[in-house]
């Protein structure tokens, strides 16, 4: 799991005036089955699967060479991220980068990187209007073909305040369901892992009511039923990105003496 920040964004800073270490939520998504295409695809694993948030559905390439996943946007609303989950870019040693179609030319907007693992990855770039954006994958041979399950492209929700304490990053919030085997005399016979997932609670406080109503309400209204990408301290801890979903409805309440809002985001998912 990792977050890759373009060098231009690091130099310029976030467009909204908040630091690059404020938590980010990638829920706004313009990818649909009609807006994403691949250079090539296995007939049984088409690129349209990438528009489905279910991570058991995949796109798979069926040829080597440079591969692209290209997303066409509406060109009006600015975007600043591309995220992918359920991929094999690390295990198959596939370098990746992000390009935008700017003034009629494909231009690199996130530099080439080798991801540190096969967990969820988020590429963050300058907020801008782009007619198209694409993920570039440099495939060495047909024995190392890329695959992915989910792709999001959109505008990040940058949380107004940072998170300092009371939060377990998703990679560390491991939950395991097991069946332990014991003999009649109590001997340990081993155990079977039935499932594993991640859970975390994100405590948010000192949130201004105006900011909550403008930015958080749309996420809670439209994004509560869909997975989202989340980074709690993106610049300091870029390897602690997860893909999760809300498991409880947040209940914002004013807290004295400031009367600013406080609430928790309870998240479950993969990292």
Phi and psi torsions of 222, nearest 5°:
-100, -25
**pLDDT tens digits for 214-234?**
999 999 988 778 899 999 999
Neighbours of 84 (CB within 10 A): 25
DSSP-derived pairing of the beta strands 65-72 and 96-102: unpaired
Neighbours of 115 (CB within 10 A): 22
d(CA 96, CA 124): 13
Parse the chain into domains and list their residue ranges: 2-158, 170-270
- What pTM value is reported for the model? 0.89
Residue 11's pLDDT band (boundaries 50, 70, 90)? low
**pLDDT tens digits for 135-189?**
999 987 777 899 999 999 999 999 999 998 888 888 888 777 778 877 778 777 7
The reply to whether CATH 2.60.120.260 applies to domain 2-158 is: yes
């Amino acid at each position: 799991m990792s977050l890759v920040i373009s060098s231009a964004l690091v130099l310029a800073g976030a467009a909204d005036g908040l630091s690059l270490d404020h938590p980010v939520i990638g829920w706004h998504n313009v990818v649909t089955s009609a807006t994403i295409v691949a250079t090539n695809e296995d007939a049984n694993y088409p690129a349209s699967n990438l528009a489905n948030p279910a991570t058991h559905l995949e796109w798979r390439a069926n040829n080597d060479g440079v591969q692209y996943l290209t997303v066409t946007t509406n060109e009006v609303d600015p975007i600043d991220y591309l995220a992918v989950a359920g991929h094999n870019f690390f295990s198959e040693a596939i370098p990746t980068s992000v390009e935008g179609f700017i003034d009629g030319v494909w231009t690199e907007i996130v530099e080439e990187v080798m991801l540190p693992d096969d967990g969820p990855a988020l590429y963050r770039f300058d907020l801008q209007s782009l007619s198209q954006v694409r993920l570039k994958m440099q495939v060495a041979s047909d024995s190392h073909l890329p695959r992915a399950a989910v792709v999001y492209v959109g505008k990040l929700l940058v949380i107004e305040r940072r998170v300092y304490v009371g939060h377990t990053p998703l990679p560390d919030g491991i939950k395991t369901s097991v069946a332990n085997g014991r003999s009649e005399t109590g001997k340990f016979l081993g155990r079977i892992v039935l499932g594993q997932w991640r859970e975390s609670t994100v405590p948010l406080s000192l949130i201004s009511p105006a900011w909550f109503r403008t930015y958080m309400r749309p996420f809670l209204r439209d994004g509560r039923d869909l997975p989202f990408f989340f980074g709690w301290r993106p610049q300091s801890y870029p390897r602690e990105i997860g893909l999760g979903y809300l498991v409880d409805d947040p209940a914002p309440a004013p807290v004295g003496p400031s009367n600013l809002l406080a609430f928790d985001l309870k998240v479950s998912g993969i990292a």
